[in-house]
Amino acid sequence: MNAINAITIALSKGRIFEETLPLLAAAGIVPSENPEQSRKLIIGTNRPDVRVVIVRASDVPTYVQYGAADLGIAGKDVLLEHGGTGLYQPLDLKIAKCRLCVAAPVGFDYAAAVRRGARLRIATKYIQTAREHFAAKGVHVDLIKLYGSMELAPLAGLADAIVDLVSSGGTLKANNLTEVEEIMPISSRLVVNQASLKMKRDLLQPVIDSFAGAVQ
């Protein structure tokens, strides 16, 4: 765990960081730099006892699980893949909203393929969530793990369909793909290290309460 009298918050760059700024402000915390413009990975704030560490979105739960960060903000998609071990998840922050979907090339009759029991090749970085989804539906799949640009897989002949996040739908459209099934709505959650919460409740609870108030 970090210093007993200080708070470390794990955040990822991009949309989650931008949408977290108002929540931090509600807790009286203002980062001193924008990670988009700085290469620094540890960013101070207006509060001497609060710092932000900038990590990959999929690494946020790991930093919080091991207590390298006391708090973190991560998408439900990332938390489901991680499994959530050792993490207290007190709040849906209702930011970075999107949905996890199955998408396929326009013209591919996904429903018919499922009905006739075809074995589908699915490319995704969400292996656990995809496995559970297709198993619950009784759909036979071969899952292919990718780390990004899932939309390319059906176009290049690597997979029949993908499981990926969809927000505006622009990326699917630009690549002649279409959403064929929604798996679940996604938003970002606050995650808290369980030991930190016990040991530093006086420091952490006001931040959690301010976030909760700002979400309302």
Among 2, 89, 171, 187, indicate the residue that binds ligand PRP (CB under 6 A).
171
SS (H, E, C) 50-108: EEEEECCHHHHHHHHHCCCCCEEEEEHHHHHHHCCCCEEEEEECCCCCEEEEEEEECCC
Pick one of 73, 122, 166, 177: the residue that binds ligand PRP (CB under 6 A).
166
SS3 content of the chain, % helix, strand, coil (to 5): 35, 30, 35
Q: Which of 34, 46, 128, 167 binds ligand PRP (CB under 6 A)?
A: 167
| 51 close to 42: Cβ distance less than 8 angstroms | yes
- Based on CB atoms, which residue is closest to ligand PRP, 70 or 164? 164
User: Closer CB to ligand PRP, residue 15 or residue 121?
Assistant: 15
Q: Could you tell me which of 186, 205, 14 has the C-alpha nearest to residue 93?
A: 186
Q: Interaction with ligand PRP in 8-67: which residues (CB under 6 A)?
A: none
Residue 157 interacts with ligand PRP (CB under 6 A): yes or no: no
Phi and psi (nearest 5°) for 165? -75, 140
Q: How many residues bind ligand PRP (CB under 6 A)?
A: 9
Q: Which is nearer to ligand PRP, 105 or 169 (CB)?
A: 169
Residue in 70, 81, 164, 181 binding ligand PRP, rule: CB under 6 A: 164
> Which one among 5, 37, 85, 168 touches ligand PRP, defined by CB under 6 A?
168
- Taking alpha carbons only, the member of 208, 216, 196, 203 closest to residue 24 is 208
Among 48, 117, 138, 148, binds ligand PRP (CB under 6 A): 148
Enter the tokens of residue 129.
């969530």
Q: Which residues bind ligand PRP (CB under 6 A)?
A: 148, 164-171
